[in-house]
Structure 1
Amino acid sequence: MSALNIEFADSPGVCRLVGSLTLDYVMDLEAQQSALWQHKQLTLDLADLQQSDMAGLAWLVRLVGEARLRGVSMRFTNPPDTLLKLAKISDVDKLLPLE
């Protein structure tokens, strides 16, 4: 496993999650996530996730809720198959703005 970070791209409002979106690392994002709310439109690329679990999925669902409260339009791109399967099994796939 590896740590989890938010990396910001050169384009405003575009960033990617890199590492393991798992219980062991999801709390690492708490300090970093405040930087996400500087944009009114946010694209979070998930292509560089190495692992994901239910805790990571729950964090994404919570992130979507917080984005709505802040008036931020959010979308997730390139979700890994494992994350898609977890979302479907948990019946939260419709809550996530997946592309």
Structure 2
Amino acid sequence: MSTLKLIKQTPGYYVVKGQLTFAAIDRQTSKALKFQPGQDKICIDLAAVTATDSAGLALMIEWIKLSRINQSRLRFKNIPEQILALAKLSSLDKNEYFASDA
């Protein structure tokens, strides 16, 4: 079975380890990111992601939605090239979260 871990390093800074794939993501994964009241900045580092597919992009979009609901500024760091390619195919590459200079 594929694994995915969301590890809280410090308040507002998370590291994703493992696969952002259909096999690794379930309903609980999108809820694993805990938005705390008053936490205005969140950074998710994807440097330790080993594989991705469109489910990974969908999860990132879900996290964006949750951050907007909670009025938190979300930033992704070290986005895998495959996610960036999928974002471009979906016309999300102009979005502030997936822009190549993000």
1:67 maps to which residue? 67
1:5-24 matches, within 5 Å, as 5-9=5-9, 11-24=10-23
Per the normalisation by structure 2, the TM-score is 0.82
1:32-51 matches, within 5 Å, as 32-33=32-33, 35=34, 37-38=35-36, 39-51=39-51
Deviations 1:36-87 (A, max 9, x none): x023210000111111111110111121011111101100001111111111
Matched-pair identity in %: 30
- Match of 1:43, as an amino acid? C
Question: 1 or 2, which has the higher strand percentage?
Answer: 2
Question: 1 or 2, which has the higher helix percentage?
Answer: 1
Unaligned segments of structure 1, at least 5 residues: none
